């Protein structure tokens, strides 16, 4: 067994215009002061990283890594959640998702997709230059408007959608493979990869690509009423990243999973700061330890009630207290009698 690493902090929800949140150095110093030992970097935020430069210049990548290390932290992974979303977008969402791309690619879905794919290619090279072996992203979605089948889905629609999604991702996955980096899809509502079954369909269409791995975030499964502990049993061999995020689901006689178009504060399913929701983190950390997960435990803060700075301040010790330092010996070793093949055959009555 291996002891996982952490606590880490995903910087995306904390970057801002005011110090210490407006530069990589200052936010890293702030994270270190709270007890974090790693940071996950959102690659779309130029205050954190120049992704193309990190891909093309090992010197720049070393300088970036050195800056983080000087603050007493490590880079856990890079993230292209926003760019990955744009690899596959149903036209229904074109206007909303245009904001994820630079202005020159808006109102031009083809150019926007090409830009997103190039961003993923940069991320593979940048990860390698930084000495990282896992990368966080979204799959994007062509089928999400069809998730609840009314009117009924045309025969073969899902097959067509996953075939196209795989065609778009296979060259990207191959590029990551060339650079020794796993692509970790965050399984998430509004993505075509939103649960175990949809992930398995994607694997089928990508020939079980070895780099098509998982970012495990139990909060999204609480909101889907999916068994997030059994999920680990099913997919632990593919889990390469872990977002530590809490959530709660409190259905009523008036609303359930879909939330009645309400804001987060008024929904039955809500994201919460660590320890304020319903996720059984003791069992999660135990399962991950038993399955030899050796990656990072990274706080992703999303809460509709608590201030983010309080969520981060409480989150670092929460994760630290849940990390299990795995044992190097069996608890009953003290009673061992020693053995070899001859001894064992004797115990069994074999000559």
CA distances from 311 to 244, 305, 319, 329 (A): 12, 10, 12, 36
**CB contact at 8 A, 67 and 24:** yes
Q: What is the pLDDT of residue 335?
A: 63
Pair 302, 315: CB distance under 8 Å? no
Q: Are 96 and 144 in contact (CB under 8 A)?
A: no
Question: How far apart, in Å, do the first and last CA atoms of the chain sit?
Answer: 36
Q: What's the confidence (pLDDT) of residue 138? A: 98
Could you give the 3-state DSSP secondary structure of residue 299? strand
Region of 108 on the Ramachandran plot (φ > 0 left; ψ -120 to 50 alpha; else beta): beta
Q: Identify the pLDDT of residue 334.
A: 61
By DSSP bridging, strand 239-244 and strand 246-249 are unpaired
State the Cα angle at 82 between 269 and 189, rounded to 5°: 30
Give the distance between the most distant pair of CA atoms in the chain.
80
Tokens of 12: 């995306």
Place of tokens 């795995």: 326
pLDDT at 141: 98
Class of residue 255 by CB neighbours under 10 A (exposed 0-12, middle 13-18, buried 19+): middle
The count of C-alpha atoms lying within 13 angstroms of the C-alpha of 82, restricted to the half-sphere facing its C-beta, is 16
Confidence at residue 198, expressed as pLDDT on a 0 to 100 scale: 98
Closest CA to 298 of 27, 4, 78, 40: 40
Per-block average pLDDT, block size 10, for the chain (351 residues)?
94 97 98 98 98 98 98 98 98 97 97 98 98 98 95 96 98 98 98 98 98 98 98 98 98 97 97 98 98 97 97 98 88 70 85 73
15, 90, 190 from 140: Cα distances, Å: 24, 9, 8
Give CA–CA dist 5/320, Å, rounded.
Answer: 9
Domains of the chain, first to last: 5-347 (3.20.20.150)
pLDDT for residue 91: 97
pLDDT at 104: 97
Tell me the residue length of the chain.
351
Distance, in Å, from the CA atom of 243 to the CA atom of 187, rounded to the nearest integer, reads 11
Residue 1 CA, distance from chain mean position: 22
With 0-12 CB in 10 A as exposed, 13-18 as middle and 19+ as buried, what is 115? Answer: middle
């Amino acid at each position: 067994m291996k002891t996982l690493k952490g606590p880490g902090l995903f910087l995306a929800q904390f970057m801002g215009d005011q110090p210490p949140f407006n530069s990589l150095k200052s936010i890293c110093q702030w994270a270190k002061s709270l007890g974090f030992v790693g940071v996950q970097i959102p690659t779309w935020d130029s205050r954190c990283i120049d992704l193309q430069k990190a891909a093309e210049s090992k010197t720049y990548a070393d300088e970036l890594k050195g800056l983080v290390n000087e603050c007493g932290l490590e880079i856990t992974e890079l993230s292209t959640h926003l760019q990955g979303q744009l690899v596959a977008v149903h036209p229904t969402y074109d206007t909303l998702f245009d904001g994820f791309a630079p202005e020159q690619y808006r109102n031009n879905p083809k150019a926007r997709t090409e830009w997103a794919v190039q961003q993923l290619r940069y991320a593979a090279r940048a990860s390698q230059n930084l000495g990282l072996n896992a990368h966080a992203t979204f799959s994007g979605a062509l089928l999400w408007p069809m998730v609840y089948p009314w009117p009924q889905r045309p025969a073969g629609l899902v097959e067509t959608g996953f075939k196209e999604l795989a065609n778009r991702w296979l060259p990207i996955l191959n590029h990551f493979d060339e650079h020794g980096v796993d692509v970790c899809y965050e399984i998430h509502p509004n993505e075509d990869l939103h649960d175990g079954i949809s992930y398995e369909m994607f694997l089928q269409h990508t020939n079980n690509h070895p780099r098509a791995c998982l970012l495990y975030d139990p909060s999204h499964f609480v909101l889907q009423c999916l068994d997030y502990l059994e999920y680990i049993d099913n997919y632990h061999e593919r889990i390469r990243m872990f977002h530590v995020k809490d959530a709660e689901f409190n259905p009523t006689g008036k609303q359930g999973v879909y939330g009645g178009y309400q804001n987060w504060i008024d929904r039955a399913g809500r994201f919460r700061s660590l320890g304020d929701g319903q996720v059984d983190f003791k069992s999660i950390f135990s399962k991950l330890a038993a399955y030899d997960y050796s990656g990072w435990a990274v706080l992703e803060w999303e809460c509709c009630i608590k201030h983010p700075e309080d969520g981060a301040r409480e989150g670092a010790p929460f994760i630290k207290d849940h990390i299990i330092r795995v044992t190097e010996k069996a608890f009953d070793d003290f009673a061992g009698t020693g053995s070899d093949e001859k001894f064992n055959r004797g115990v069994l009555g074999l000559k």
